[in-house]
Structure 1
């Protein structure tokens, strides 16, 4: 079976979306964790939790985006 031909700009758009999702969710997690740390006085705890949570959410969003891109929907 022949794969569907995609325009090179679609690949650039996919890479841009992946980058923005990973960076955006990580930054939101870090700054959200820093904000909670400032409120509660627990210096690195929620910053690390926010970082890991942001990375996990970014990876999940990236997986869904790539799966949607290659499924042809």
Structure 2
């Protein structure tokens, strides 16, 4: 069975989607945690929690995007 031939621009699109989802979710987590810390007066707690939640959300979104790109595998 012959593997599917994909265009190189599809790979570039996949990589840029992965990077933007990872970076975007991490930044949202960091800035959201920092904002909550400023409102509540708890300096690094929610920043770290927001970073971890953003990282987990970015990894989850990355796996969903890869699964969408390779549905049969």
Q: Which aligned pairs between 1:1-73 and structure 2 lie closer than 5 A?
A: 1-71=1-71
SS of equivalent residue, structure 1 residue 71: coil
Q: Where do 5+ consecutive residues of structure 2 fail to align?
A: none
| TM value normalised by structure 1 | 0.96
Residue-pair matches, total: 72
Q: CA RMSD in A?
A: 0.7
- The one-character-per-residue Cα deviations of 1:25-71 (angstroms, maximum 9, x if unpaired) are 00000000000000000000000000000000000000000011011
**Which 5+ residue runs of structure 1 have no aligned equivalent?**
none
Paired with 1:54 and 1:11, the residues of 2 have a C-alpha distance of 24
**TM-score, with normalisation over the residues of structure 2?**
0.96
Q: Shift in Å at residue 2 of structure 1?
A: 1.3
- How many angstroms apart in 2 are the aligned matches of 1:62 and 1:49? 20
